[in-house]
Amino acid sequence: MLSAHTSPLEQPGTGDAGGMNVYVLELSRRLAQRGVAVDVFTRATSRHLPPVLDAEPGIRVHHVAAGPFDGLTKNDLPAQLCSFVRDVMRVDVENGPGYFDLIHSHYWLSGQVGTVLRERWGVPLVHSMHTMAKVKNAALAEGDSPEPMGRVWGEEEIVRHADWLVANTDEERRELLELYGADPSRVDVVHPGVDLDVFSARDRAAARSRLGVGRETPLIVFAGRIQPLKAPDLVLKAAALLRQRHDIPAEVAVIGGASGSGLERPTELQDLARELGIAEGVRFVPTVDQARLADWYAAASVVCVPSYNESFGLVAIEAQACGTPVVAARVGGLTTAVADGVTGTLVDDHDPSQYAAALAPYLTDTGLRTTTGAKAVAHAELFSWEATADRMIACYEAAARWRHAKEAR
């Protein structure tokens, strides 16, 4: 398992850690439970990390020294990939030929490493994009920077050389075919999952009590990395409109830390809340563990996911699993994660007034929130990590058969 730019052991919600971290760790866990040993390779970001860590039974994490431990952004990492490849190949040499049966790379940086290892080891390469440069550049948030052409070219190369591609949704599969010319016979759809033991329906009043939220407070929750792509500013603007136009004193909890271009303006959201006159009703919460995050989801009247692009949207599924409706952008994987009009509402553009109108019913109508929340729980139960792992193993087997047949020709 290649996760070069971010470790599955990092706390999601800040820096480069997010849904992909959860994905790699949860998938690895379920594979290990099925008897598939998983070695995860990720770049070391501290000299204090052990070179190899047995994270859980069946999961070994390798912290690869590739470039300085800190101070590097994702845009700096392509120059460190040669060092990364060298150290990963050393593990194979130490264990003897044929030690690894298959490579699963995540994100384009890991995919570049995977294409080299695939040829060196003669094993299948399965790749998950998670996000794609061409898709992101087509729907940039205001103030965000476009993905560089080097990434576009890198992704095109991965599509040509990977034995199998895994898309999170049918929409992502369509993008791989139309934008990257992927072979439709070698692209499968495997939905990410949700940990239903952690994210589950619970007593809203008790969750609010634990978090210090008023019992009757209309509460909107945003959870994710603080960067323009995720559009947390839109949530604040919608909350201001809810107060001004709808007479709804909505409060907002923004959970997460700065990431990407958001690092350049670390106080931008706090400044915006003051400008909008809602600072007293906005709580900025640092990243929290999953159990605490589940409490925030349960405490919310509604969770808002207004991203400009999401390959899936784990936040949306996690929130629904906790019995909370979701208002989200009608983009990417969110159209799969949220059942529009059933478990929440999808919004067509990034107009704060449209979000205010979509959020208002869930903040004021207890009956609607209750019935929608019950349907949300049932919907989320369709997305389990167990199902993800079973489907992924089928993809691995298909990739191995395809490569074997290709080599036999």
Distance CA 305, CA 404 (A): 42
Distance CA 296, CA 51 (A): 35
Any known ligand binding at 319? no
Distance CA 397, CA 283 (A): 47
Residues with Cβ within 8 Å of residue 337, at least 6 apart in sequence:
310, 312, 313, 314, 316, 317, 320, 326, 328, 383
Any known ligand binding at 29? no
Any known ligand binding at 12? yes
Any known ligand binding at 123? no
Any known ligand binding at 205? no
Any known ligand binding at 288? yes
> How many Cα atoms sit within 13 Å of 373 on the Cβ side?
25
Neighbours of 116 (CB within 10 A): 18
Distance CA 373, CA 357 (A): 19
Any known ligand binding at 151? yes
Any known ligand binding at 95? no
Any known ligand binding at 225? yes
3-state secondary structure of 406: helix
Decide: 224 and 295 in contact? Cβ < 8 Å.
no
Any known ligand binding at 335? no
Any known ligand binding at 362? no
Any known ligand binding at 20? yes
In 3D space, the residue among 128, 109, 171 whose CA is nearest the CA of residue 27 turns out to be: 128
Any known ligand binding at 131? yes
Any known ligand binding at 212? no
Any known ligand binding at 19? yes
Any known ligand binding at 16? yes
Report the binding-site residues for Mg(2+).
297, 300, 324
Report the binding-site residues.
5, 11-12, 16-21, 74, 107, 131, 151, 225, 230, 288, 297, 300, 310, 318, 324
Report the binding-site residues for UDP-N-acetyl-alpha-D-glucosamine.
11-12, 19, 225, 230, 288, 310, 318
Report the binding-site residues for 1D-myo-inositol 3-phosphate.
5, 16-21, 74, 107, 131, 151
